[in-house]
Structure 1
């Protein structure tokens, strides 16, 4: 691989965390090189024309509540980089039988009003979180590195107490109707965990709160636009992003002061070889990956004909039925079983972003959780579940493209067994991610740091794993106690 001079830092992996780490290092004046094995940067943020020209499909990440709330991306200033967040009228919806549905809007009050007798309880649960929304998000994403403001100690403490149990406990503690219970369970199921496990209540709370805090936006034109903006910013600071190069041995970077790895823990151990002691290697061997995903992208002749008209205005739809059905749909893949009524996480991008398709065209996105590494085709179960709440859906399908769990891993090696979270987001693994040590970014190889979603704060497009790792590297390697802010976008005036 040709390198134009010796870099001060190398980042392996051009996903959102790797690119975020590279930008933080570049802001400190380091000459940064990002190395990516794929032909395009972006990791899970890549957008592709999978079937027909002009139809743009986000292969993995598509809706970005955590990017909208992330301290890193707020500092990066998306608007100044030409990245436009587009917000659907309804953040997410949860259809129920009989043409009913529960919906979450940007407005806490409007969401509570739509939940009937559970409206007051919804305000009681989410009101304090929304009031201290940014502090709650900041603590959730950066708690190991930054102090919590005194003004929000009460709200975060209350969040933590409600977050530790499972979602059934939270739903039954606060709500009486199947609509409100299903709404919060659908958000919690993003975590790819058996919903009877601890911490699933916290997933529902955080994602439910972000709908009212920063929304659940999409990126106009596709998630690739965010990755491309980050690459451009790196290049504007003298860095470079090299694609199509697979790193197999960390000795390739001997002499480089800092190496950040937006990879799996196992990939690091393999690249490091005998530089990793046996204790660390054993801990990595115990690091658990969760269920995989089976993904479908569709081209449709018209919008999905949901029975409930409010669902037609939603960006994200949790297609699963009641709380009990949602929990059953998630317990099956966690136990290594298939189900004919899965929890379907669906997104209709062209409802809010017509640039994703030619005039009059529509794209639709969905995945389900499946047993780890499963190669079973579950297209029929997914489409039957959607048809249940949108009669006539199958008649709108023009073309589809699918990826099973092994194919998702082939597309992105960080998705081991189809696990798009780079490791199970269980209570234990969120406390010790990926190994039980205080500084989980630091590895046994001097100057080398893990910066992927396998480190705190875990999965989602927020950039904080990479940013946190870069901050640790700047402190430990270069002695920088005060990390420089990200450089602003060049003026176009």
Structure 2
């Protein structure tokens, strides 16, 4: 059997980012994917719900991809990937016919929030770059950033991560608008992890790239990564599940875009006991259940501007969301679960087929839940969009307990591949100085279980690839930017960087 330089296990955005980087350095790379299609949490598939309608299997909206240093260098636009930016990044409908609207235009948002507008500007109105550098680093290096900007971000996290979070707000709209973003962390509210998530994503909402939706779906990002990998002689083998070490072909190095649990299952006693114990201690978080809808018209939101948003956080007031997330943390199902909603046709008309459209929704539930949340999600959306049931053509629920069937990294429905806690923010997946090292020579982790954590940014793979390259005596990270061939198009192979 041919011995590879590197075998990457898992073809999510992090695994593909690692594979692209390593192939660009001239290494022989093979990617093994358990599913029939590549992409992990960034796939777009026809689920068979309606002719021609495709659905984003996990991630649908991509502020992290726009902000990611890896994707900025990779240059998605130059590769034909269109990131479409809604006029409204996200919205938060509230009882009584009110709503918080996060326009991409910061000043328009501040004006609409009235008395709480200045507080909004002070929390999320700064430049996006410092927040990105602080939040999307490897949690071991000191980011090069204006100390004042870093201090501002840190103080904001301290405020919004504690019971002091209402100290500066007067009305209920602005705090609800921010809390809807914090709920992406799927953790008790308030918490430091949720606050960091909220401030980063809310700042990006007002940046140039906003909260973009790829034309055609998230799979467009994956297709661009795959094309570059194959242009540099990388290989992908689908339908190849790695359950034990014997399932791995010979290679100099292995990179796992998996959870620590999978890594331990595969390597077993080949891991040093101390490393295995540390990886076994990694904690997984609460979960999401997904409901994919097909609609024959737009969601009839009571507040018109909500229908302009690429993402809608359906959770009500700050107090209601905190209560719902608290229920989940206690292992209970909330009566009105925190629900995330996205209609890609807000900006992407190609997703409309014969007047029908996909609607992407997630509801937060306890880990391992086997409850079908279709009715709970429908009822919750109806609270702010009366008549929603009338535009539903069909739907399908994927319970939390089944999420791992299409992505093994989603342990018991944990789409973040690890609990969002302050401890696991910095000790993710273990307290090792090199968070990508498994503890065994030549074996690395690069999934969302490693820094900087969840999100379609490719950075876990990019950072891990830098460590792998050292095994081959390569000290300079190769460029992943598009390269024009002599004919003026395509991507030429690059020499090994030393």
Maintained 8 Å contact 2:23/2:234:
yes
Q: Does 1:65 align with 2:63?
A: yes
In structure 2, the residue matched to 1:188 is: 182
**Cα distance in 1, alignment partners of residues 483 and 409 from structure 2:** 30
**Cα distance in 2, alignment partners of residues 95 and 300 from structure 1:** 20
**Cα distance in 2, alignment partners of residues 12 and 121 from structure 1:** 45
Equivalent residue for 2:438, pick from 439, 443, 450: 443
- TM-score, scaled to structure 1: 0.95
Equivalent residue for 2:478, pick from 478, 481, 484: 484
- TM-score, scaled to structure 2: 0.94
Equivalent residue for 2:15, pick from 13, 18, 43: 18
Equivalent residue for 2:46, pick from 46, 49, 73: 49
Q: Does 1:260 align with 2:255?
A: yes
Maintained 8 Å contact 1:165/1:199:
no
Maintained 8 Å contact 2:63/2:210:
yes
Residues 309 and 193 (structure 1), Cα distance of their counterparts in 2 relative to 1, 3 Å cut: same
**Cα distance in 2, alignment partners of residues 338 and 136 from structure 1:** 33
Equivalent residue for 1:159, pick from 146, 153, 158: 153
In structure 2, the residue matched to 1:95 is: 93
**Cα distance in 1, alignment partners of residues 56 and 159 from structure 2:** 33
Residues 489 and 355 (structure 1), Cα distance of their counterparts in 2 relative to 1, 3 Å cut: farther
Deviation at 1:173, TM superposition (A): 2.7
Q: Larger deviation: 301-310 or 359-368?
A: 359-368
- 1:110-151 CA-to-partner distances (Å, cap 9, x unmatched) read 1111100111111222233x2xx223212321254655335x
Maintained 8 Å contact 2:288/2:400:
yes
Equivalent residue for 1:304, pick from 283, 299, 304: 299
- 1:415-440 CA-to-partner distances (Å, cap 9, x unmatched) read 00000100111101111111111111
In structure 1, the residue matched to 2:107 is: 109
**Cα distance in 2, alignment partners of residues 420 and 18 from structure 1:** 16
In structure 1, the residue matched to 2:364 is: 369
Equivalent residue for 2:195, pick from 187, 201, 207: 201
**Cα distance in 2, alignment partners of residues 255 and 98 from structure 1:** 62
Deviation at 1:294, TM superposition (A): 1.1
Maintained 8 Å contact 1:191/1:425:
yes
Unmatched 5+ residue regions in structure 1? Answer: none
**Cα distance in 2, alignment partners of residues 487 and 182 from structure 1:** 39
Aligned partner of residue 288 in structure 1, secondary structure: coil
Maintained 8 Å contact 2:130/2:149:
no
Greater helix percent: which structure?
A: 1
Deviation at 1:313, TM superposition (A): 0.6
In structure 2, the residue matched to 1:9 is: 6
Equivalent residues, number: 485
Aligned partner of residue 91 in structure 2, secondary structure: strand
**Cα distance in 1, alignment partners of residues 107 and 468 from structure 2:** 43
Aligned partner of residue 429 in structure 1, secondary structure: helix
Equivalent residue for 1:141, pick from 113, 136, 142: 136
**Cα distance in 1, alignment partners of residues 259 and 248 from structure 2:** 18
Q: CA RMSD in A?
A: 1.7
Equivalent residue for 1:212, pick from 206, 209, 212: 206
In structure 1, the residue matched to 2:172 is: 178
Unmatched 5+ residue regions in structure 2? Answer: 491-498
In structure 1, the residue matched to 2:241 is: 246
